[in-house]
Structure 1
């Protein structure tokens, strides 16, 4: 065999082996369509922050697969509301899921919880969806977005999965909401209409569910549960009726955040986890199967 033929054969064989040994990996959500139409001339472009958590990341010393997307902390030094204390050792990736763990801070009434936040920020038009199993505590299981100055917030998942007999109302509801704030002096607007507490009879802690938000524009939000449109909040009178955004609406770049929280509006009423509940890992972990983020772009820009 000539040298030229030998080299061609070797190159062909190598290319074939690379092809069969390095298949394109499918993301967990590939078979699930985005439930929002992109519209004529546009398409949904997947952002690389999207994460199916198909790798291992211990509570500390997380790998590049995690750290290229996420900080193992909140977006700033704040440690969380109420009795919460965000702790970097309380988030990890295992068996294809992100775990956000809660435990008692020794010798105190505080609760250690995990919190991760995206290194990048995002603006509309944007679709964000997460597949989540709530923790079984009175804590909030949360996937949300927040501007860098903490004045604009979109809640994707905010829910309370405790199965205590006294918590049946909360266990059957997802809080689908947003906030606009003035920080000094502190003022907070969020919708209080009945639709902000979505209820179709499901006990949300019993299984994984998909919850998504289409942030279409500064004055328009759509909420999707398991692919179904369940709530629309549109117009200045529903997004910012008190004018806290000076007429700009939900317009600031926002970080993604995944955490659990012992919120003061509940703990002030005595609704806080017991030591026994926190020690029970069947209750104390919020699980995220995946989170995906799509930006709406012109068709020719995605090619």
Structure 2
């Protein structure tokens, strides 16, 4: 695993224009510091077929999850359900033959990243009741930052979710299993938008182990700060969100939703007009001393 910490791991800035150049980083890098683009940043301005995705994809990403797990509930992550085309990362979903399982796309970064970090994605949510996700996860699956988790499907009983973005984090104990995530009202961001209808930018400033700031279209919409919010049950032994994490894009069918009937029908999965989960770009920044 490649771990990105500080300046020696960075590449030199490219002088070419990037798709995100029109959008300034919405948080200050700190006194005497500036933001430097991390090379995991990807504009997806290349082609990567579903099979044999090629070098441009493989230098940053690999197919699947951080380990051999295939996903929750009816999820079955499959390498051929992800591809890059028309300047977008695209994740698709289809029913597995003679099964309730749904084959879905998932990709994971080779690099792991740690705080302080600003990360932002521009994405369009899939018109399915599946979760369209972008998240950070530690190698041991005990610390997680959910940058984007959204359920865009137009099923009538999904309307509340289709109008919201889930902005959250988790800390876990694996043996015996315990899971904490905040349940406050601000974990569900609402602005009157049905998020499957247009691209949205969602960012997180991971300032330190005890502080996260969330941004939607450049506007700060949520702050999670302090032990009582980050880890009130001390699952991290007083360390907070301190571990290097890999970046993951994927789709999921989740147990708590499947049990409520919030799972796609065969007809919905076969309807190509519903589109894929589209990612226009993702960018990562680390603070470095200003010259």
Counterpart mapping for 1:139-154 below 5 A? 139-154=130-145
Structure 2 gaps, min length 5: 1-13
SS of the residue 1:119 aligns to: strand
Q: Which position in structure 1 is the counterpart of 2:237?
A: 246
Q: Which position in structure 2 is the counterpart of 1:108?
A: 99
Q: Which position in structure 2 is the counterpart of 1:265?
A: 256
State the aligned residue count.
Answer: 278
SS of the residue 1:65 aligns to: helix
Per-residue CA deviation, residues 232-272 of structure 1 (Å, 9 max, x unaligned), is 00000000000000000000000000000001111122211
Residue number among 66, 76, 83 corresponding to 1:75 in the alignment? 66
Q: Which position in structure 1 is the counterpart of 2:167?
A: 176
Residue 25 (structure 1) shift: 2.9
Counterpart mapping for 1:118-157 below 5 A? 118-157=109-148
- RMSD after superposition: 1.1
In structure 1, distance between residues paired with 2:172 and 2:186: 21
Contact 2:158 2:262 in 1 (8 A): no
In structure 1, distance between residues paired with 2:112 and 2:271: 35
Per-residue CA deviation, residues 101-139 of structure 1 (Å, 9 max, x unaligned), is 111011100110000000010000001100010001110
Runs in 1 of length 4+ with deviation above 4 angstroms? none
The answer to which structure has the higher strand fraction is 2
Q: Which position in structure 2 is the counterpart of 1:9?
A: none
Contact 1:71 1:116 in 2 (8 A): yes
Residue number among 184, 187, 191 corresponding to 1:200 in the alignment? 191
Q: Which position in structure 2 is the counterpart of 1:13?
A: none
Structure ID, larger Rg:
1
In structure 1, distance between residues paired with 2:180 and 2:186: 16
Q: Which position in structure 1 is the counterpart of 2:272?
A: 281
Q: Which position in structure 2 is the counterpart of 1:18?
A: none
Structure 1 gaps, min length 5: 1-22
SS of the residue 1:99 aligns to: strand
Contact 1:103 1:284 in 2 (8 A): no
1:211–1:181 CA distance, 2 compared to 1 (3 A): same
In structure 1, distance between residues paired with 2:282 and 2:87: 12
TM-score by length of 1: 0.90
Residue 213 (structure 1) shift: 0.4
TM-score by length of 2: 0.94
Q: Which position in structure 2 is the counterpart of 1:6?
A: none
In structure 1, distance between residues paired with 2:32 and 2:273: 47
1:213 maps to 2:204: yes
The answer to which structure has the higher helix fraction is 1
